[in-house]
Amino acid sequence: MANSSKDSKKRKVEEPEIKEKKHKLENGVSKKLDQEEEELPEAIQEEEYEEVDSDEEAKKAAKEAAENGPGAFSNFRISPEAVELLTKRNVNYLFPVQYETFDYIFDGQDVIARARTGTGKTLSFALPICEKIKAEKLSSKERGRNPIALIMAPTRELAIQVSTDFSSVSPLVVVNIYGGTGYDTQENLLRKGVDIVVGTPGRIIDWLNRKVLKLDSLKFVVLDEADQMLNFGFQDDIEKILSCIPATQSHQTCLFSATIPNWVNKMAQKYLRKDQVTIDLIGDEKVKSNENLSHLAIQCPRPVVGDALGNLVKVYAGEGRVIIFVNTKK
């Protein structure tokens, strides 16, 4: 009992001291937190200020590249109308594959260009071809006129993209021909007269066999994504199409690809001029796609592909746009 009484007195003496120490400690922590909160906005402001500075520097660098870089519009024979159309698309200067090939294509040389996917290859041939047609007044308003340029692509999706790029830099008449759609609309457009035909090899051969499409006025032939043509089994079709161009018809041929397989080189030897120009922006590097792209893979059972795809889009796309590539229409 005596011990218990002593312990009780000891606790009564110690409790006020402990409470006081605890109060001081809490006050110290609270003041420190308050101080940190006061300092935090300054830190945030500094970060925001640095971010604004970096944005301004990026804009300044982009403007300098547009005005003084190798891709500046003023370095090339690009009409003011085309510059205006490009600017509306937020294209303010030419990318490497575009400025490396522009003069060669505009001057009528055969070109083999190798560049990563997604680096602007389509515009690199669309722009100089449209500007050349305009400069030499090769187009007319005549009904039933045959195409001046023929662009071949491995898929309908790519053909649509190519025709969109042509239409975005020039008012020339562009007709898209590919399988999986009816013949009537395409035939009507071809018979009205066309400047540029963009299509897949199979449907191009259909119209050649029907005598609706004629290549006797052709000045430009472009094979886009040449390496993919072999994967789709188009080698024989392409050679058949090229053989339909009259031997007397002078034209230039351009091949664009991320890789140059042996069959492309063999075809180049057969159909391109000996003074052809080869421009390689990839070299021995293994990665053929755009350096700014990340590639991720996920294993997914077929029954839940739809749900997994939806989740991936939500996570990675945010408020942006998404392109989904599939093997079949179904």
**Is 0.85 topped by the overall pTM?**
no
Tens of pLDDT, residues 190-203: 999 999 999 999 99
pLDDT in tens, 218-238: 999 999 988 888 777 888 899
Among candidate residues 255, 256, 253, 258, the one with its CA nearest the CA of residue 283: 258
Tokens of 148: 């001046």
Which pLDDT does position 233 carry in this prediction? 81
Q: Name the residue among 319, 295, 323, 320 with its Cα closest to residue 309.
A: 323
Mean pLDDT confidence for 66-91: 91
Query: Between residues 112 and 5, which one has the greater pLDDT?
Result: 112
Q: How confident is the model at residue 174 (pLDDT cuts 50, 70, 90)?
A: very high
Which tokens sit at 62?
């982009």
pLDDT for the residue numbered 33: 45
DSSP E strand boundaries for the chain: 111-114, 149-152, 174-177, 196-199, 220-224, 252-257, 277-280
Sign of the Cα pseudo-torsion (96, 97, 103, 109, in order): positive
Q: pLDDT tens across 264-297, in order?
A: 788 788 888 889 999 998 876 555 555 667 778 8
Among 8-12, 227-231, 301-305, which stretch is predicted with the lowest mean pLDDT? Answer: 8-12
Pick the residue with more confidence: 230 or 121? 121
Contacts of 198 (CB under 8 A, 6+ apart): 151, 153, 159, 162, 163, 166, 174, 175, 176, 177
Phi and psi based region of residue 90 (left: phi greater than 0; alpha: psi -120 to 50; beta: remaining): left
For residue 317, what pLDDT band results from cuts at 50, 70 and 90? confident
Torsion sign over Cα 276, 277, 283, 288 = negative
Rounded Cα–Cα distance for residues 294 and 94 (Å):
24
Spatial contact of 195 and 148, defined as CB atoms under 8 Å apart? yes
The Cα–Cα gap between 325 and 204 comes to 24
When pLDDT is cut at 50, 70 and 90, the band that residue 3 belongs to is low
pLDDT at 326 exceeding the cut of 60: yes
For residues 302 and 138, which has the higher predicted lDDT (pLDDT)?
Answer: 138
In terms of Cα–Cα distance, which of 148, 173, 142, 153 is closest to 250?
A: 148
Which of 98-107, 254-263, 310-319 has the highest average model confidence (pLDDT)?
A: 98-107
Radius of gyration over every alpha carbon of the chain, rounded to an integer in angstroms: 32
d(CA 273, CA 112): 11
Q: Would you say residue 93 has pLDDT above 90?
A: yes
| Per-residue model confidence (pLDDT) at position 129 | 98
For β-strands 277-280 and 252-257, DSSP reports them as: unpaired
HEC string of 189-200 equals HHHHCCCEEEEC
Higher pLDDT, 282 or 1: 282
For strands 196-199 and 111-114, give the pairing: unpaired
